[in-house]
């Protein structure tokens, strides 16, 4: 297999690396301080065509390939998981509109998503339904051509900014013959009556990304806002899973690379017992593990991205990538903390943020327990 990147992919990787160093590093510091959404950074990023990176040119997108997206995600995540995740959710939502929405909804949202004037969000999780996505309780009841939506979503990323719009909402619209929920996707305009932002969560990391409860109280949405068909909601939700899981592989790889860069520099500089601590084999072992896991995570992610972009079946590879990469990212963040000793405990040190960020990667985009169940099922269990 040829893993060499094309000239265009290398160019994009370099462009993103430069942007990351010049723009995302200072913006990340500000996000940590203020916990505010990075509007200026998002505008600059969008100006490079990155908010519409995967969208076709006819909607104002850059029409770039999946592998370039994955490479760019890794570069951004080396410095900021937060910004990478804001972008990843926006791309996921843009893809849902592109694949499933009817032409009118596409024309309404895709051009403004491509320009980054509006930000996408995806509302599935509820206080009583996380891993068990089919168990959601938010209900949409039809009367004439209008649906009345009632219920509460929680943790939803990107829905709480001044540019959020077109939330993709999953709601129960009936019962199937087998007694399971029939779930349908709705496009929810920001500011519509009956839709309000609820609690804004106080997170241990990912400051700058908004995560809110969303409250629907007799929110009236016309049938024209249905994405796909009635009852196709879960299929739509699951359609982005492969790319989402591979994206988490790239975000994890970036985080491990960040841990390695900071830990190596620190270990060479920090002296104890008259020598840099990088001279000690127990420190070297941690650095060697980090470097090896980073390389394996990167290759696994690129391979899964290659399968996904070739249109090949890759559910298993995507699940394994998500499981492995997020596990080794957590380990790398622990080792980076340890190498920094007491300084790793201090928020002034970047590895402290990596430590706080890494754990959530094991939970988002399907928890690692759910990944294991999925992989085991494929083994015939």
The contact set with ligand FAD (CB under 6 A) reads 89, 122-125, 130-131, 155-157, 203, 206, 211, 360, 363-364, 367, 369-370, 373
In three state form, how does the secondary structure of the chain look? Answer: CCCCCCHHHHHHHHHHHHHHHHHHHHHHHHHHHHCCCCHHHHHHHHHCCCCCCCCCHHHCCCCCCHHHHHHHHHHHHCCCHHHHHHHHHHHHHHHHHHHHCCHHHHHHHHHHHHHCCCECCEECCECCECCCHHHCCCEEEEECCEEEEEEEEEEEECCCCCCECCEEEEEEEEECCCCCEEEEEEEECCCCCCEEEEEECCCCCCCCCCEEEEEEEEEEEEHHHEECCCCCHHHHHHHCHHHHHHHHHHHHHHHHHHHHHHHHHHHHHCEECCEEHHHCHHHHHHHHHHHHHHHHHHHHHHHHHHHHHCCCCCHHHHHHHHHHHHHHHHHHHHHHHHHCHHHHHCCCCHHHHHHHHHHHHCCCCCCHHHHHHHHHHHCCC
State in angstroms the smallest separation of the CB of 108 from ligand FAD.
21
State in angstroms the smallest separation of the CB of 126 from ligand FAD.
8
State in angstroms the smallest separation of the CB of 238 from ligand FAD.
12
Residue whose CB is less far from ligand FAD, 86 or 334 = 86
State in angstroms the smallest separation of the CB of 232 from ligand FAD.
17
Residue whose CB is less far from ligand FAD, 12 or 129 = 129
Q: Are 138 and 172 in contact (CB under 8 A)?
A: yes
Q: Residue written as tokens 């989402």?
A: 244
Q: Which residue is nearest to ligand FAD (CB)?
A: 130
Concerning whether 75 is annotated as a catalytic residue, the answer is no
Q: Residue written as tokens 């309404």?
A: 108
State in angstroms the smallest separation of the CB of 40 from ligand FAD.
22
State in angstroms the smallest separation of the CB of 92 from ligand FAD.
9
Residue whose CB is less far from ligand FAD, 23 or 362 = 362
Q: Which residues of 340-358 are buried (b: 16+ CB within 10 A; e: fewer)?
A: beeebeeeebbbbbbbbbb
State in angstroms the smallest separation of the CB of 111 from ligand FAD.
23
Catalytic residue, chosen from 36, 126, 365, 369, is: 365
Residue whose CB is less far from ligand FAD, 190 or 367 = 367
Residue whose CB is less far from ligand FAD, 186 or 306 = 186
Residue whose CB is less far from ligand FAD, 131 or 223 = 131
Q: Are 119 and 165 in contact (CB under 8 A)?
A: yes
CA separation (Å) from 371 to 144, 304, 364, 380?
41, 15, 11, 15
Residue whose CB is less far from ligand FAD, 89 or 247 = 89
Q: Which residues are catalytic?
A: 365
């Amino acid at each position: 297999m040829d893993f060499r990147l094309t000239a265009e992919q290398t160019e994009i990787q370099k462009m993103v690396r430069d942007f990351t160093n010049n723009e995302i590093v200072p913006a990340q510091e500000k996000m940590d301080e203020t916990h505010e959404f990075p509007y200026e950074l998002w505008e600059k990023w969008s100006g490079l065509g990155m908010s519409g990176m995967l969208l076709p040119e006819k909607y104002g997108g850059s029409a770039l390939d999946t592998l370039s997206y994955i490479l760019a995600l890794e570069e951004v995540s080396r410095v900021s998981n937060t910004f990478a995740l804001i972008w990843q959710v926006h791309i996921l939502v843009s893809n849902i509109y592109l694949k499933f929405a009817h032409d009118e909804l596409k024309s309404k949202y895709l051009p403004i998503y491509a320009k980054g004037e509006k930000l996408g969000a995806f509302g599935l999780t509820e206080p009583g339904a996380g891993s068990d996505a089919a168990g959601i309780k938010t209900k949409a009841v039809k009367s004439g051509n209008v649906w009345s939506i009632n219920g509460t979503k929680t943790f939803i990323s990107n829905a709480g900014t001044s540019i959020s719009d077109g939330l993709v909402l999953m709601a129960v619209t009936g019962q199937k013959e087998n007694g399971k929920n029939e779930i349908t996707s709705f496009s929810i305009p920001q500011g519509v009556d009956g839709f309000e932002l609820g609690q804004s969560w106080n997170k241990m990391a990912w400051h700058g990304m908004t995560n809110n409860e969303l409250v629907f109280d007799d929110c009236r949405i016309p049938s024209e806002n249905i994405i796909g068909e009635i009852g196709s909601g879960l299929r739509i939700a699951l359609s982005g899973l492969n790319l989402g899981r591979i994206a988490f592989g790239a975000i994890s790889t970036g985080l491990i690379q960040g841990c390695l860069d900071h830990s190596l520099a620190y270990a060479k500089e920090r002296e104890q017992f008259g020598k840099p601590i990088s001279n000690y084999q127990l420190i070297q072992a941690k650095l060697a593990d980090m470097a090896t896991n980073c390389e394996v995570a990167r290759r696994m992610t690129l391979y899964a991205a290659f399968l996904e972009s070739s249109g090949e079946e890759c559910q298993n590879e995507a699940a394994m990538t998500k499981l492995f990469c997020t596990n080794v990212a957590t380990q790398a963040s622990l080792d980076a903390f340890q190498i920094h000793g007491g300084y790793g405990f201090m928020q002034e040190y970047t590895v402290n943020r990596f430590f706080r960020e890494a754990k959530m990667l094991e939970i988002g985009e399907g928890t690692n327990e759910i990944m294991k169940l999925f992989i085991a099922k494929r083994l015939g269990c």
